Structure 1
Amino acid sequence: MNILNPTALLALPLIAAAPASAALVIERTLASPGGALVFTLERDDTSQALSHSVTYSGRPVVTHGALGIQIDKADIVGDEGTIERVVEKSSSTEWTNPFGERSTVPDNYREETLTISHAGQGSFGVKLQVRAYDEGVALRYLIEGSGTVMAEKTSFPLPETTQVWVSGSTQAPISKAPIAKMSSSVGPVLAELSPDLFAAFGEAALADASVTKFTRSETSTINASIGGRMEFQGSFTSAWRYVRVAQSPGAMLEGNHFMLNLCEPSQVADTSWIRPGKVLRDITLTTEGGRACVDFAAAHKLEYVLFDAGWYGKETSRASDASKSGPDPERSPGPLDVESVIAYGKTKGVGVILYVNQVALTPQLDKIAPLYQSWGVAGIKFGYVTAGSQAATRWLNQAVKKCADHHLLVDIHDDFRPTGMSRTYPNLMTQEGIRGDEESPSNATVLNSVFVRGLAGPADQTNCYFAPRVTKMGSHASQLAKSVCIFSPWQFLFWYDRPAASPPLPGAKGFNPANLEEVPELTFFERLPTTWDETRVLDGYPGSHATIARRKGKVWFLAGLNGATARTFDVPLEFLDPATSYKAEIFVDDPAVTTTTKVRIDTQPADHTTQLKLSVAPSNGFAVILTP
């Protein structure tokens, strides 16, 4: 047995019996700081093939997964050979994240970078880098040389009884299935190995590579499948492939800072101009409507107004110029003077966000970024982005950086899933890549998004509150709950709603607007933060229910979202400061309430010994503000 790091093994319990094959030897064993999660690199002494396994508290998670990537037409590297050199590293630090779900992020891991040597890899230098956190393990390939990555062999064999949550595309519904029936899925993929053992698979720090999908081979092996060829000159660093492990879906979600830790620290030196907040979309695309939105936003403590698709002409036309106001006549008769609305918003502390479709964004970004900065635009919503290829990844990352250079915040919409890069470019506020309220999802569908899509990072759910579709999706109290359960530094709260002072839109394409109303529960949105100091996932299961608490300063926001079955939520408030008494304001659905939204607000005292007991109907929810 060739053990190059015996000190790493001294702290470990015996975790498994000898390998099934007498020729299989352990090259490396790397444990997480807490010791429960263990990555093992194995080598077949006969074929030289390398494989990897992951265990959690001695229980198998991944068993003998393949390694390696194919370069050019024939060369496969990193799949076999011996370990010639090991560079060890560890971290026991924390960093501050003013734009996330927790303001202080622990960054504790053990890392090894392994130089692999084999005659078949030719002139390429090959390293496998592995990190072990208590929340998961990650690996990536470091290649020296020049060539084209054609395919990847990395795989994750799982128990045959595993159940997985998968989605075929970024905005498709997420569904649960036996792993034997899994087809191609975007990440993350959530897996239930047993009632008390869950795993998730995905990629992080996608900076110069094509997007990875996850496919199945044999009965129960998940494979990392790259979305296109990747050319490199001099060196290549793959995105991280990770295996998250936790004992419950809630614990998995609560540890989702894992992906941020795999990314480079902020490249934006001065972040003082970055302002999260709540957003109201103007759907009239008129100056009058924009000013009405600014007035409503200022009165109800919303930070932003968005001019969406159509403000500069037909979004899919190459003739449309994103440097000039001029609405698409199919969407609005106008008139629209965006610059005057921006100036008006500044007088009331309300910023303006502008949508730009990829059709205009690609040729015009270098022109409009400084122009929008001169106008005082707060940010850009990228529409219908091109994603998937290495070139598209490079372009998107550079586009976000260019926006940062001009103090523009960013929301990336449509076919895009985050991989943690908002740590590197914190002006990337949020992104879609979720089946949001534009698709009228049921609460059960949203609960799949909470526990699966939520593992990847912020999600622009495009919440709507007064639109008729709310009763089709769930309830108004569950809409309040969504704004807590689904994290996004930009919370779009009123997607299909318009202030009463806005002009009518007879026959406008694609809209069935509802008027914004003055209902008592709007105080919840007025007081809602969009970034947090602390997050606790108290309970939940995909598709079924969720209870999540988030703290900003000394105030807690608690929310429960219910699926298709009536449920009594028993919520102990043990997370509260034991030395403090609180006022609990509880927002629940009640058909007897006379407002159109049917939300009742109850008030009661609370402390850390209180247990809230709330009976919640199917597809309903609740929200609570706990104030000292």
Structure 2
Amino acid sequence: MVQKSLLTLVSLLVLSLGNVLNAKEYVVSSPDKAIQMKLVVEEDISYDVMYHGKTLMKQNQIALELSNGVLGQSPVVKKVKQKAFQEHVDCFNYRCPSFDVSYNEMYVTFKGDYALVFRVYNDGVAYRWETKMKEDIVVRNEQADFNWAEDYVVYLPFTTSKKDPYAMAFQNIYSVSKISEADNSKVAFLPVTADCGDGVKVTILESDLENYPGMFVLADPKARALKADFAEYPEEYAVNSTRAMKYVTKRSDDIARCQGTRSFPWRIMAITSDDTQMPVNNLVYALASPNRIGDYSWVKSGKVAWDWWNDWGIWNVDFKAGINMDTYKHYIDFAAENKIGYVVLDEGWYNPKSGDMLTVIPELNLEELIAYGKSKGVDLILWTVFNVLDDQLEEACKKYSEMGISGFKVDFLDRDDQTGVEMVYRIAEMTAKYHLTLDLHGIYKPTGLNRTFPNIINFESVFGMEEMKWSTVEKDMMEYDVTMPFIRMMCGPIDYTPGAMRNATKKDFQPIYYNPMSQGTRCHQLATYIVHDSPLTMLADNPTIYRQEQPCVDFICSVPNTGIEETRVLQGKMGEYIVTARRVGKNWYVGGLTDWNARTVKLDLSFLGEGNYEAVLFSDGVNAGKQAADYKKTEQTVERSSSLQIDLAPGGGFALSLIQK
């Protein structure tokens, strides 16, 4: 049922004749009247979306096909109610500690024991199905059409799997084209964005995904439409011998099997009039189910000294680096030196082929490592595979919680069909019971699960730094880096795993698996620690290199990624550049990223409070266009009347701390 507990009822308006355009059309507007949604009930159900009087989407047909009938076919309206709500949402490990939203809701009850709930906010439209049936139901398909009024440009991240398009890591760059020219041979995963002109963009997202498959979209160029698509319900599985990873080998002809009385996921169309509004849109979090785990004061976020990206690649030591005690004690020492709260033991601490995460490899004494870390103020996180953890769930949670492990980095779900989603909920609930945190990799996009289970502190589902180990420069990471924050971060935080100290220009970049580098400059890397929503953030490079680059490490470790009190996108244009500011207390941190085009950012500091601030700026060096690791560190005193002019090299960036004196 629709969540009511945190809602303040402002007014109750039973639909009157004044709300009816004709016998079958019903309109609901946003509180500020800028957005209108018109529901049309005829032989089927559809809706239009208007913004400031301009139609953006029209005749978006929706239906829910069950095994015994189609909800939305020859519909009969029983009752329509409109209500106005205001809601205060408290957040945890988010871009702000809380926010307020207001919206107008239209609740439409139909003959046949089902309903549709529409909510219109000042920054978007959302709807969901509800059923109130006594018997369990089988959902064969869900129709959700997104028909654009014009031939808009769309940003689509396509599946990377040809064999099973619904089974992949949800990581890809964006394909950008007019909808009439979009590739209709591959499904795209959410979120996706349409550029409607004049700065207006519509981003399709979903929230409160539970006991149901996630939504994909398939382009229909002739109809200028995107149409919902879903992974079918798994029937048979096999196991990958390398990591004992379970994958689907056969699917049924339905998409979900569920209780007859339930609420379905929210379908969201976030509407923005300026690109700077996109990364701070809160609709996914606002529409998610509230906290289910009770007290979460034990959840600790922070930064992580990470082993896998740099391939345990330390040197100038008197031991052989690898998955062994000496290496991990070295990582713990580095973390302790820099007040980094975590070290991840990534793949290899148990034999991944065995599918048994209860047995640690002989080279490691895990109890000793945990004790060593805790003696230095460093906690450990263990990597594992989703189904491996799920198969040993309570036993593994109990064992490692009692041992002193802080949490799990869980990897390789690589699907979001109904059984995959159900597995994520099982793991989230059980780990919370044993006070274990989760960093989810190989996972579908966030759908508000971090609100429901605050022990989930980060998600991957991003084309992150790991891709630089094997991708050529044709995978344009710099363009992606200034596109992704506007689209992907709308739905939740990212574990992008930044921090490369080996940096390359577009001409010099090449994928090197064991000694990887980044596309773009050193300051581009530093800026990601500010631009990204990331309550658990990796330092991807290795301790040997970091110790040679201590000023950069000091800055990275000084940037808070928890306790954010305010986030603003000061400037930006999707696909070109972004400048983000975050406030913790009276102090501010500002990061800027650009694509492969050099640019100059003029930064007005009027957002600062009263008084003087010590400004520490890391900016691209004068030679960064040729030597991407070149940077310049400057310090000065500024105030709110000050301004800075910062030059960004191709693939460049800047990182700025403003500490009140």
Q: Structures share a fold, TM > 0.5?
A: yes
Q: Secondary structure at the match of 1:194?
A: coil
Offset at residue 423 of structure 1 (A)? 0.4
Distance 2:189 2:94 in 1: 23
1:33 aligns with 2:31: yes
Counterpart position of 1:134: 122
In the alignment, structure 1 residue 212 sits paired with structure 2 residue 210: no
- Matched residue of 2:226: which SS? strand
Aligned CA distance change for structure 1 residues 454 and 258 (closer, same or farther; 3 Å): same
Please report how far the alpha carbon of residue 215 of structure 1 lies from its aligned counterpart in structure 2 after TM superposition: 1.5
Opposite residue 176 of structure 1, the aligned amino acid is V
Q: Report the alpha carbon displacement of residue 159 of structure 1 after superposing the two structures with TM.
A: 2.7
Q: From 226, 246, 250, give the equivalent of 2:276.
A: 250
Name the residue aligned to 2:93: 99
In structure 2, which of residues 291, 298, 308 is the aligned counterpart of residue 266 of structure 1?
Answer: 291
Equivalent position SS for 2:360: coil
Counterpart of 2:593 in structure 1 is: 561
- Contact kept, 8 Å, 1:147 with 1:231, in 2: the verdict is yes
Q: Deviations over 1:459-499 (max 9, x none)?
A: 11011322466765111100011111121110112x2x332
What residue is the counterpart of 1:337 in the other structure? 365
The answer on 1:442 being equivalent to 2:477 is yes
Query: Counterpart of 1:484 in structure 2: which amino acid?
Result: I
| 1:498 counterpart = 2:508 | no
Contact 2:289 2:448 in 1 (8 A): no
Matched residue of 1:371: which SS?
helix
Q: Is the counterpart of residue 368 in structure 1 residue 378 in structure 2? A: no
Q: Indicate the residue corresponding to 1:506 in structure 2.
A: none
2:623 & 2:175 partners in 1: Cα distance? Answer: 35
CA contact (8 A) 1:144 1:234 kept: yes
Q: Which residue of 2 aligns with 1:517?
A: 548
Matches within 5 A, 1:62-461: 62-72=57-67, 75-117=69-111, 124-145=112-133, 146-169=136-159, 170-182=170-182, 183=184, 184-217=187-220, 218-228=222-232, 229-255=255-281, 257-282=282-307, 283=312, 284-313=322-351, 315=352, 317=353, 319-326=354-361, 335-440=363-468, 442-461=477-496
Which of 5, 26, 44 is matched with 2:15 structurally? 5
Which of 506, 517, 526 aligns to 1:480? It is 526
- TM-score under structure 2 length normalisation: 0.83
Residue of structure 2 in register with 1:572 after alignment = 604
In 2, are the aligned partners of 1:160 and 1:219 still within 8 Å (CA)?
A: no
2:44 aligned partner:
49
Distance across 2 between alignment mates of 1:105 and 1:79? 38
What is the CA distance between 1:516 and its match in structure 2?
A: 4.2
Pairwise CA distance, 1:581: 2.5
Q: 1:486 to 1:466 in 2, by over 3 A?
A: same
CA distance in 2, matches of 1:60, 1:39: 10
**Which of 353-362 and 476-485 deviates more?**
353-362
> 1:54 Cα deviation (Å)?
1.1
Write out per-residue CA displacement over residues 181-234 of structure 1, whole angstroms, 9 at most, x where no aligned residue.
334210111110103211101211101101110112333112222222101233
Q: Partners of 1:346 and 1:91 in 2: how far apart?
A: 47
Contact 2:571-2:579 within 8 A present in 1 as well: yes
Separation in 2 of the partners of 1:457 and 1:202?
Answer: 11
Q: Is the 8 A contact 1:474 1:619 kept in 2?
A: yes
SS in 2 for 1:68: strand
1:55 deviation in Å? 1.2
Q: What is the CA distance between 1:426 and its match in structure 2?
A: 0.7
Q: Residue 241 of structure 2 corresponds to which residue in structure 1? A: none
Runs of 4+ more than 6 Å apart: none
Displacement of 1:407 in angstroms is 0.5
Residue of structure 2 equivalent to 1:552: 584
Take 1:195 and 1:101, find their aligned partners in 2: how far apart are those partners?
A: 27
- Measure how far apart 1:149 and its partner are: 0.7
Cα distance between partner residues in 1 of 2:398 and 2:101: 36
Q: In structure 2, how many angstroms separate the alpha carbons of the residues matched to 1:63 and 1:153?
A: 15
Percent identity, aligned pairs only, is 26
Question: Matched residues in 2 for 1:556 and 1:7: separation?
Answer: 52
Residue 25 of structure 1 deviates from its aligned partner by 5.4
Q: Secondary structure at the match of 1:521?
A: helix
Contact 1:521 1:599 in 2 (8 A): no
Q: Which amino acid aligns with 1:162?
A: Y
Contact 1:148 1:232 in 2 (8 A): yes
Q: Distance in 2 between matches of 1:567 and 1:79?
A: 54
Please, which of 590, 604, 625 is the counterpart of residue 657 of structure 2? 625
Shift of 1:236: 3.5
Give the Cα–Cα distance (whole angstroms) in 2 for the partners of residues 554 and 7 of structure 1: 52
Contact 2:89 2:286 in 1 (8 A): no
1:95, CA displacement in angstroms? 2.7
| Rounded Cα–Cα distance in structure 1 between residues aligned with 2:118 and 2:583 | 33
Q: 1:177 & 1:68 partners in 2: Cα distance?
A: 28
8 A Cα contact 1:8 1:31, kept in partner = no
Structure 1 stretch 92-101 or stretch 303-312: which is displaced more? 92-101
Aligned to 1:21: none
State the distance in 2 between where 1:70 and 1:8 align.
Answer: 33
| Alpha-carbon distance in 2 for matches of 1:498, 1:253 | 30
Deviation (angstroms), 1:518: 4.1
Distance 1:287 1:178 in 2: 54
- Which deviates the most, 213-222 or 346-355? 213-222
Unaligned runs of 5+ in 2: 1-12, 160-169, 233-254, 313-321, 469-475, 505-515
Residue 208 of structure 2 aligns with an amino acid whose one-letter code is: A
Q: 1:407 to 1:472 in 2, by over 3 A?
A: closer
Q: Confirm or deny: 8 A CA contact 2:205 2:284 kept in the other structure.
A: no
